[in-house]
Amino acid sequence: MRIAIDAMGGDHAPEVNVRGALLAAEEWKDVELILVGDAERMKPYLSDAPSNVQALHADEVIAADDEPVRAVRRKKNASMVVAGRMVREKQADAMISAGNTGALMTTGLLIIGRIEGIERPGLAPVLPTLDGNGVLALDLGANMDASPEHLLQYGIMGSIYRQRVHGINRPRVGLLNVGTEEMKGNELTKAAFGLLKNGPIHFVGNVEARDLMQGTCDVVVCDGFVGNILLKTMEGTASGIMSALKTEFTKSLWSKLAAAVLKPGLSAFKKKLDYTEYGGAPFLGIDGVLIKSHGSSDAHAIKNAVRQARIALQNELVSSISTEISRKRDVKE
Amino acid sequence: MRIAIDAMGGDHAPEVNVRGALLAAEEWKDVELILVGDAERMKPYLSDAPSNVQALHADEVIAADDEPVRAVRRKKNASMVVAGRMVREKQADAMISAGNTGALMTTGLLIIGRIEGIERPGLAPVLPTLDGNGVLALDLGANMDASPEHLLQYGIMGSIYRQRVHGINRPRVGLLNVGTEEMKGNELTKAAFGLLKNGPIHFVGNVEARDLMQGTCDVVVCDGFVGNILLKTMEGTASGIMSALKTEFTKSLWSKLAAAVLKPGLSAFKKKLDYTEYGGAPFLGIDGVLIKSHGSSDAHAIKNAVRQARIALQNELVSSISTEISRKRDVKE
């Protein structure tokens, strides 16, 4: 299987992208990796590259602050766009990027294209839970406004991803809502409830934001606006608490000593809360495997994204989604 | 000024409600408090009541799990409904309840009524910030779906509340959104941005959920669905982190000792995160002062709610909102 890596995306590109690719290529010999980016800048890290790693020169780069749609349309030779084109033209089966999220979603939509029958692809990171299993949340920002039908498709795609990539047998799908009772919610969630209930998924009903961290479901669906609020509130609250704790812990000599004793536990715990530890976010509904790695990814994170893409390919993620969606449409017609 | 207190609402009613009223009556002699509830059950705590406290018997109670609209319509002699009726009939200037939130909002809407020109009253608790000033957030659950015009009214009411009750000179009003740029958001926030920008408030633009805890604004507006997700995610993340920390801290004898050293600081910090510490939530847009205290309120929290109601009355909160809203309508016509 062939996986294209946008070597120029992310805060530490291209170094960590190349190093991560080398680590992955060493570990999985059945994978062929194509690093797309500035050949000159990649070169210093490629001296010991194994035979299943190639470099493909692309002379443009999409920056973190580029306006997504314009950048993808104009920079036709950007590393991200070239990687996307490889997937569309079946020269690669999957692509990975740690670059501009908006531009990557645009690349997915405009360059690679959607699976037939999917109205809106959704970005689906795994959010941290206390039990360490995480919860796949979608959509987290690809589409601000959603219809009930979109939420159903998110549920189906998320469920298939959890099965195929994480090996969860009968993933519990929840609808993010303001209460657990069936009649709760806004117009969108009230209308989506019935669709999800009758959908080809293991729907466990409404779930409240406050219970998500307890691991009440394996997949949670919401529109992209609400998903963004959820993710950013988690991040803001966690980082606010952590910085305030740090202040408490450095108040006196005694508290500094005490904090030193607790430090290893705290670090392990901080890692558990860090959703970037759970791997990249798949952009589900695109006609190819597309993994968004966090901008702050290190080589280890890039390697993990390759692992994710590899499992998704081995277990035929895209064709499973396609089959399920077309089956649903056949029933309708 | 006369303040009616629903003596039967909340987890520890009527004891804490009565004790809280007594504390308030001792402190503020210009306040007359009317405790509405089961006379027999209030009696044991009323023996030393000062002269500015009265009890008014009401023989029904709205329970925490009662269906709000039905309960308010049918239980005409419930303590909450009687208190609401007193406000409508100008026998009281304000009311306080720690009971069923949905029923209290229904009491506000159906029994007391809205300020003329207000389309949707909004529930407005203060959420914790790291600087301790908090941020007044509305709407937090009164109306699931909002129009751009509703968000503008939330901004105006929240701004007046922060000025009148918290003494903030020129409150910064933010629009909860997925990014800070003007064109960001869903259909609702995109349309609301222009209205807020031209409104009679100090609008500081879009604010992201992750920055709220940093105290980037004094008032934040959003629809009730999103507000609920925001509040519950904050609660869930904070309590998740706290329980996980507890596990870390009790792992070994050393960590237990270390945690003991840090305990006072941690408790102070936990209090800072607890939004119930910031007082009750006003239900803004109702034609009378209505304060929702948390269900878990103790006597101290009830006393604080009286303080809030008293300041709101002294500073003519309701007529200020009414004047501002009618001025806006005059300009329009």
User: pLDDT tens-digit profile of A105-151?
Assistant: 999 999 999 999 999 999 999 998 988 899 999 999 889 999 999 99
Q: Which chain B residues are closer than 8 Å to A244 by Cβ?
A: 130, 269, 272
CB contact under 8 A, A248 and B225: no
Return the half-sphere exposure (C-beta side, CA atoms, 13 A cut-off) of residue B136.
28
| Burial degree of A191 (CB within 10 A; 0-12, 13-18, 19+) | middle
Distance CA B272, CA A248 (A): 12
Q: In the sheet that B172-177 helps form, which strands lie side by side, from edge to edge? A: B126-127, B135-138, B219-221, B172-177, B202-208
B145 Cβ neighbours under 8 A, 6+ residues apart: A186, A187, B223, B224, B225
Phi-psi region of A56 (alpha: psi -120 to 50; beta: other; left: phi over 0): beta
CB contact under 8 A, A248 and B262: yes
A220 and A137 Cβ atoms separated by less than 8 Å: yes
B253 Cβ neighbours under 8 A, 6+ residues apart: none
- Token code pair at residue A192: 């989506």
Closest by Cβ to A238, choosing from B141, B144, B237: B237
Locate the chain B residue with the closest alpha carbon to A128: B237
Digit-by-digit pLDDT tens for chain A (333 residues) are: 999 999 999 999 999 999 999 999 999 999 999 999 999 999 999 998 999 999 999 999 999 999 999 999 999 999 999 999 999 999 999 999 999 999 999 999 999 999 999 999 999 999 989 888 999 999 998 899 999 999 999 999 999 999 999 999 999 999 999 999 988 999 999 999 999 999 999 999 999 999 999 999 999 999 999 999 999 999 999 888 888 888 877 888 887 887 788 777 777 777 777 766 677 999 999 999 999 999 989 999 999 999 999 999 999 999 999 999 998 666 655
pTM of the model: 0.92
DSSP secondary structure string, B201-262? SEEEEEEEGGGGGGT--SEEE--HHHHHHHHHHHHHHHHHHHHHHHHHHTSSHHHHHHHHHH
Domain chopping of chain B, boundaries: 1-118+285-317+324-333, 120-280
Among 3.40.605.10, 3.40.50.300, 3.60.20.30, 3.40.718.10, name the CATH number for the domain at A120-280.
3.40.718.10
CB contact under 8 A, B178 and A241: no
pLDDT tens sequence across A140-157: 988 999 999 999 999 999
CB contact under 8 A, A248 and B269: yes
B296 interface with A at CB cutoff 8 Å: no
Closest by Cβ to A130, choosing from B144, B222, B240: B240
- Residue A125's nearest CA partner among A138, A144, A143, A108 is A138
- Residue B36's nearest CA partner among B71, B79, B76 is B79
Q: Sign of torsion, CA B144 B148 B153 B155? A: positive
A196 and A113 Cβ atoms separated by less than 8 Å: no
pLDDT value for B134? 93
B258 interface with A at CB cutoff 8 Å: yes
The distance of A101 to chain B (nearest Cα, Å) reads 13
pLDDT value for B329? 67
B243 interface with A at CB cutoff 8 Å: yes
Three-state SS at A2: strand
A235 interface with B at CB cutoff 8 Å: yes
Same fold, A1-118+285-317+324-333 and A120-280: yes
CA distances from A208 to A2, A283, B233 (A): 40, 24, 8
A264 and B271 Cβ atoms separated by less than 8 Å: no
- Residue B120's nearest CA partner among B225, B275, B193 is B225
The distance of A234 to chain B (nearest Cα, Å) reads 6
Largest separation between any pair of C-alpha atoms in chain B: 72
The distance of B213 to chain A (nearest Cα, Å) reads 7
A257 interface with B at CB cutoff 8 Å: yes
B244 interface with A at CB cutoff 8 Å: yes
Q: Is the pLDDT of residue B285 over 90?
A: yes
- What single DSSP character describes residue A60? B
Distance CA B255, CA B144 (A): 45
Q: With a CB-CB cutoff of 8 Å, which residues 264-293 of chain B face chain A?
A: 265-266, 268-269, 272-273
CB contact under 8 A, A210 and B189: no
Q: Is the pLDDT of residue B331 over 70?
A: no
Q: B136 vs B265, which has greater pLDDT?
A: B136
CB contact under 8 A, B258 and A257: yes
Phi-psi region of A322 (alpha: psi -120 to 50; beta: other; left: phi over 0): alpha
pLDDT value for B276? 66
Average pLDDT rounded to a whole number, residues B324-331: 79
CB contact under 8 A, B262 and A239: no
Number of residues that make up chain A? 333
pLDDT band at B332 (very low <50, low <70, confident <90, very high): low
Looking at the DSSP bridge assignments, the partners of residue A37 are: A57
How many CB contacts within 8 angstroms connect chain A with chain B? 159
- What single DSSP character describes residue B142? S
Helical (H) or strand (E) element with A208: strand A202-208
Closest by Cβ to A258, choosing from B178, B261, B273: B261
CB contact under 8 A, B259 and A258: yes
ipTM of the complex: 0.90
Q: Which chain B residues are closer than 8 Å to A254 by Cβ?
A: 261
Q: Sign of torsion, CA A212 A216 A218 A223? A: negative
- Residue A129's nearest CA partner among A236, A213, A233 is A213
CB contact under 8 A, B230 and A229: yes
B77 and B84 Cβ atoms separated by less than 8 Å: no
| CATH classification code of A1-118+285-317+324-333 | 3.40.718.10
B130 interface with A at CB cutoff 8 Å: yes
- Token code pair at residue B286: 């109702």
B230 interface with A at CB cutoff 8 Å: yes
Number of residues that make up chain B? 333
A108 and A88 Cβ atoms separated by less than 8 Å: no
Three-state SS at A219: strand
pLDDT tens sequence across B231-276: 999 989 988 888 888 887 788 888 788 778 877 777 777 777 776 6
Distance CA A25, CA A33 (A): 7
